[in-house]
Structure 1
Amino acid sequence: MLPDFLILFIVLAPGIVALSGLIHKQIGDAPVMILTTGTVLLAGALSLYQLFAYAAGIHGAEGHAEEVGHAVEAVATNGAHIITLMPWIDVGAFHANWAIRIDTLSIVMMAVITGVSGLVHLYSWGYMSEDPHRSRFFAYLSLFTFAMLSLVVADNFIQLFFGWEGVGLASYLLIGFWYTKKAPNDASIKAFVTNRVGDFGLALGIMAVFFVFGSVEFEPVLTAIRENAVVTPLAFASAAPAQELAIDFLGQHVYALELIGILLFIGAMGKSAQFFLHVWLPDAMEGPTPVSALIHAATMVTAGVYLVCLMSPLYEHTLYAAGMITIIGAVTCLYAATVGMAQNDIKRVIAYSTCSQLGYMFFAAGVGAYEAAMFHLFTHAFFKALLFLGAGSVIHGMHHEQDMRRMGGLAKYMPLTYAAMMIGTIAIIGLGIPHTLIGFSGFFSKDAILESAFAAGEHQVMFGQVAFWFGIIAALLTSFYSWRLIYMTFHGPMASAEHHDDHADHAHAAADDHGHDHAHADHAHEPHESPAIMLVPLGVLSLGAMFAGFYFHDWFVGDAESAFWGSSIYSAVDNHVLHDRHSVPEWVILAPLVVTVAGFLIATFTYFFNRGFGKRIADSGGPLHSLFANKWYFDEIYNATLIKGSAMLGNLFWKADKKVIDRLGPDGVTSLTRWSARRLSAMHTGYLYHYAFVIIGAALVFGAVMWLRAGGAN
């Protein structure tokens, strides 16, 4: 493990250099870009070194325990390595330090975040070269990196919430980076509001944790759950073992762990774009493509998966919360795959594939295969970032064109981008040979998830079989839409002649929308390969997409997984799905390969040998195609119910407030005051004899009252 000062550099330096964006007018764009890119690349190199060194230390421990460093041994066997920076909150029983927690989960996440972020920074030098606000963009990227790192190294729920909201802020800023345009603004607001729904659940979950355990620090809470220690809630329940404690909630008697697990997962649903709260992710493609690769593919959207795996001691002792994770993940996996088949925007196709792959990760965690979920998170970072940056290279080479129907035949113009996209496609469909170590990254992680889900179903784990079959169907659809993207973009003829004239106009409009100039507008008909500074990140990510699964397989889900994960991931005694997957029937092992090849053949027939066939299906406008193309009408349903319903209620309450509360309250009081003032002011005529008359009259009345009172007394 790295020394503490280098770990502090990895976590804090991106946040410090992000402040350089505030003085870009004084120092210029180039220094900001150099400072942020160099810092994050260095942090990425250190994080990757830490991951490889830790894994190598675990490997050495198998036969040479005496050679294992004390830090590695401590993390692997005795728990997390804590670096306390300073006290933060100390109010009564509520304690939270600002600290950095290093365990296997955080080591993996640090490598993913800084590795992908560093490459995105480098790639953005080419992609954003024409943008007049480059320094602001790079500062936002570094700010996001810092917030995400703060989330995954948090030592307590409050610090995690700080990072959680920090990435939400950075997401809002980056999606709406081109803030002068309506679409990015709308998309950023949609992402922000949708995530507030999930974040409300997360906040309630954190409150419930403190209510039950009297602490917001991870270690005492997770230890109490693992050891089934007796805990005393603040109210509404008596002391009881943590795994058996029940409390009253909304008039119901519920198990505390179930309640906490569901509330925390609602937060994960929003951040990781799961079914019902997924609607923000595709619209987030309005931001620059590097944003899609960094935030909405490889890092931010995996924060929910990280949270569920971190809370594995909790979810191992829940039935309904774990079942909810499994079914929501499975439905998301299948739903997003169906929608991805019918999208024509190259970035939206990849965005829906992100939703689908996140579904795999969640239902893996739901059935107890947390290691497989983290393995897919790790491999997914490589091939999804590769696909997004590859799509950005296509968009750049096509002068900001994103509609695949206006592409075709780009392989000969952009051979290196084509090769990278092919690698990413083979990785995401999970192509490999069962019972061997031959395959791209997605093969190792996705097959581990599907096999674990089937094994869980055989052990009567809630929704395990449903998740398996949904995952198999989604694998078929993933192969289909992934090859559809390749064929529509890189194969066949260029877009037909009748589209060429308006292609240039569309390129101009896209350039206007995205804030770029028109340096290449005269060559809109000539696709070109991207510059080297954009291709280098594609090459590095291609290596990860090809070899990361093979290299890390044993550590993440293989023979060394127990030593690798140590105490950072917890499995109950009766949960062995990750091991039981080795005894599933042969057809379960072969099924992913069969459906992957089937999806490839269907896409090849439809979009390669019969290129116009898919267009005819789309033009026919059948109900199924319309359902998928319109994203199951979620936006329309939410607009008709939630948005218009909220507006109607708001209007009703506003009118009630205006006509009842204001009229009887502040408006009524002010009206009475004005009326009284007008009447009283009429008495101030300015004539002396009027005032004398009033004084004499008042004296007579006063005297009469006094005389009557005196006479009555006698």
Structure 2
Amino acid sequence: MGIGAYVAGVFHLTAYAFFTPLLFLGAGSVMRGVERGRAADSSRTQFNPNDMACMGGLARRQPITFWTFLIGGLALSGFPLITAGFWSRCKILARAYWSSPAVFWLLAVAAGLIAFCTMRQVCMIFLGQPRTRAAERAPESPPLMTAPLIILAVFATGLGWAGIAEDFPVIGGLVPDWFHALVGSPIETTYDLVWQPLAVWLAFGLGGLVLAWLVYGWKPVRASETDRVEAAMRRMWLGWLYDALRNRLYFDEIYRTTFVHGSILLASLFQDFDHGVVDGLIGLVVRAGRSVSCVSGWLDVRVVDAAVNLAGRAGRALSEIGRVLDLRVADRLANLVGLSGRALSDLSNVIDLKVVDGVVEGVGDAVRACGRFIRPIQTGRVQNYLLLAVVEILALVVAFLLM
């Protein structure tokens, strides 16, 4: 994907989905057979049933597992023309050759190492003579396990024919490139097949297979024999490199020392901090809370309760005083006010009847008397009115003169 080979990358990933599980299931079938062989061995020799040095000669005991494992190993190594791994890697290397030569050479070297390790596995597990009694008695796996191996082996070989480049010599035009038509991207640039990257890759891949067969298959490894690559590297004073590679460049030790032990140390520090600081602070808070609770309890009993009792007694005393004042003073004042009100009511009644009503009736009687006095004057005769007017004028003149 990093070099832009999208279709080739997806094709290689799809091919990997078949021959990688094939190798894992084949390894499981081998380990099962060795375990059953050890169970059938009456000597009960102690050894690691997963160690390839304790196997050998299983091709005769487990033929189906051998052939399917061989097909998966060849597909992983990219054996030319007949495996899916060849056709998927062919497109990737062609793209890497044009876009990134450094990536191309890294892929070529990796292909050689993969081919060497794969053939080493095949030779040490299946070829030669059995190196333990368990390997001599290892049975073939039942059909429930070998049937998936056969199906995956078919796809590990036949899937490659769905992605043959159309410009590949001879067989390129015979089978259409169905996979590119299925997932091909219109933005991906296609490159013509050239022989240089293919030849380099075949040299590394086939060279790794042949070299591993010469080291481990030409003369199969015998029981208790030191690994031949290890022996050769130790003769060349490269035993340290073999040990480093065998121990995976000590990544496990580095990881265990840094991350595992570091995590344990950090956890211990946090535990000490929790016990020494956090728990101490919590204990201090608890003791302070307990002290505050005791002080508040003492204050509640000695101060608050005393004040409440005093307030209660004062309230009862005030209530008694109020009751006495109500009976002795308030009631008498209320009775006096009632009697005074009743007397004032009687007095106002007498004044209303004798004075107010008398004045009103006197005014009415005076008005009626004046009416009776004036009524005779109203005769209706003009001469009487003229006489009255002359008398009034004379009265006014006399009054004026007297003033």
Q: Which interval holds the TM-score relative to the shorter structure?
A: 0.5 to 0.7
Higher relative contact order (CA 8 A, sep 6+): 2
- DSSP-derived class of the 1:394 partner: helix
Cα distance in 2 for residues equivalent to 1:423 and 1:693: 94
2:62 paired residue number: 414
Whether the 8 Å contact between 2:73 and 2:119 is mirrored in structure 1 is yes
Asked if 1:639 is matched to 2:248, the reply is no
Whether the 8 Å contact between 2:88 and 2:160 is mirrored in structure 1 is yes
1:670 paired residue number: 286
Deviation per CA, 1:363-404: give whole Å up to 9, x if none: xx1111011111111111221122222222212222263221
Deviation, 1:624, is 1.4
2:164 paired residue number: 553
- DSSP-derived class of the 1:428 partner: helix
Deviation, 1:646, is 2.9
Unaligned runs of 5+ in 2: 37-48, 169-175, 315-403
Deviation, 1:652, is 2.8
Asked if 1:426 is matched to 2:43, the reply is no
Deviation per CA, 1:483-510: give whole Å up to 9, x if none: 11111011111115xxx4xx5xxxxxxx
Whether the 8 Å contact between 1:429 and 1:479 is mirrored in structure 2 is yes
Letter in 1 for 2:182: F
- DSSP-derived class of the 1:553 partner: coil
Cα distance in 1 for residues equivalent to 2:34 and 2:3: 44
Deviation, 1:549, is 0.4
Choose which of 432, 449, 454 in structure 1 pairs with 2:92.
449
Deviation, 1:697, is 12
Whether the 8 Å contact between 1:491 and 1:608 is mirrored in structure 2 is yes
2:108 paired residue number: 472
1:533 paired residue number: 144
Whether the 8 Å contact between 1:607 and 1:614 is mirrored in structure 2 is no
Letter in 1 for 2:210: L
Deviation, 1:454, is 1.5
In structure 2, the CA distance between the partners of 1:635 and 1:659, relative to structure 1 (3 Å rule), is: same
Identity among equivalent pairs (%)? 32
Whether the 8 Å contact between 1:395 and 1:402 is mirrored in structure 2 is yes
Larger strand percent: 1
Whether the 8 Å contact between 2:87 and 2:163 is mirrored in structure 1 is no
Choose which of 115, 120, 126 in structure 2 pairs with 1:490.
126
Choose which of 272, 295, 307 in structure 2 pairs with 1:655.
272
- DSSP-derived class of the 2:293 partner: helix
Whether the 8 Å contact between 1:444 and 1:553 is mirrored in structure 2 is yes
Cα distance in 2 for residues equivalent to 1:466 and 1:385: 30
Cα distance in 2 for residues equivalent to 1:660 and 1:635: 35
Cα distance in 2 for residues equivalent to 1:678 and 1:550: 89
Cα distance in 1 for residues equivalent to 2:257 and 2:183: 47
Deviation per CA, 1:288-346: give whole Å up to 9, x if none: xxxxxxxxxxxxxxxxxxxxxxxxxxxxxxxxxxxxxxxxxxxxxxxxxxxxxxxxxxx
Q: How does 1:328-477 map to 2 (within 5 A)?
A: 365-399=1-35, 401-432=49-80, 438-457=81-100, 465-477=101-113
Cα distance in 2 for residues equivalent to 1:439 and 1:489: 23
- DSSP-derived class of the 1:628 partner: helix
Whether the 8 Å contact between 1:606 and 1:614 is mirrored in structure 2 is no
Letter in 1 for 2:284: G
CA RMSD of aligned residues (A): 3.3
Asked if 1:593 is matched to 2:188, the reply is no
Cα distance in 2 for residues equivalent to 1:565 and 1:694: 89
Deviation, 1:439, is 2.4
Deviation, 1:683, is 8.1
Letter in 2 for 1:440: T
Deviation, 1:645, is 2.4
2:183 paired residue number: 565
Whether the 8 Å contact between 1:418 and 1:490 is mirrored in structure 2 is yes
In structure 2, the CA distance between the partners of 1:370 and 1:608, relative to structure 1 (3 Å rule), is: same
- DSSP-derived class of the 1:527 partner: coil
Whether the 8 Å contact between 2:12 and 2:89 is mirrored in structure 1 is yes
Deviation, 1:447, is 1.7
Normalization by structure 1: what TM-score? 0.36
Whether the 8 Å contact between 2:88 and 2:163 is mirrored in structure 1 is no
Cα distance in 2 for residues equivalent to 1:488 and 1:672: 74
1:606 paired residue number: 215
- DSSP-derived class of the 1:399 partner: helix
Cα distance in 1 for residues equivalent to 2:304 and 2:8: 97
Whether the 8 Å contact between 2:70 and 2:122 is mirrored in structure 1 is yes
Cα distance in 2 for residues equivalent to 1:387 and 1:369: 26
Letter in 1 for 2:207: A
- DSSP-derived class of the 2:138 partner: coil
1:101 paired residue number: none
Deviation, 1:647, is 3.0
In structure 2, the CA distance between the partners of 1:692 and 1:653, relative to structure 1 (3 Å rule), is: closer
1:355 paired residue number: none
Whether the 8 Å contact between 1:492 and 1:611 is mirrored in structure 2 is yes
In structure 2, the CA distance between the partners of 1:562 and 1:551, relative to structure 1 (3 Å rule), is: closer
Whether the 8 Å contact between 2:127 and 2:220 is mirrored in structure 1 is no
Larger helix percent: 2
Q: How does 1:41-56 map to 2 (within 5 A)?
A: none
Deviation, 1:673, is 0.9
- DSSP-derived class of the 1:366 partner: coil
Q: How does 1:265-276 map to 2 (within 5 A)?
A: none
In structure 2, the CA distance between the partners of 1:683 and 1:561, relative to structure 1 (3 Å rule), is: closer
Deviation, 1:529, is 1.3
Cα distance in 2 for residues equivalent to 1:367 and 1:692: 86
Cα distance in 1 for residues equivalent to 2:303 and 2:26: 95
Deviation, 1:672, is 0.7
In structure 2, the CA distance between the partners of 1:679 and 1:451, relative to structure 1 (3 Å rule), is: same
Choose which of 609, 615, 628 in structure 1 pairs with 2:227.
615
Cα distance in 1 for residues equivalent to 2:83 and 2:200: 17
Deviation, 1:691, is 5.9
Cα distance in 1 for residues equivalent to 2:246 and 2:161: 36
Cα distance in 2 for residues equivalent to 1:698 and 1:570: 96
Whether the 8 Å contact between 2:77 and 2:118 is mirrored in structure 1 is yes
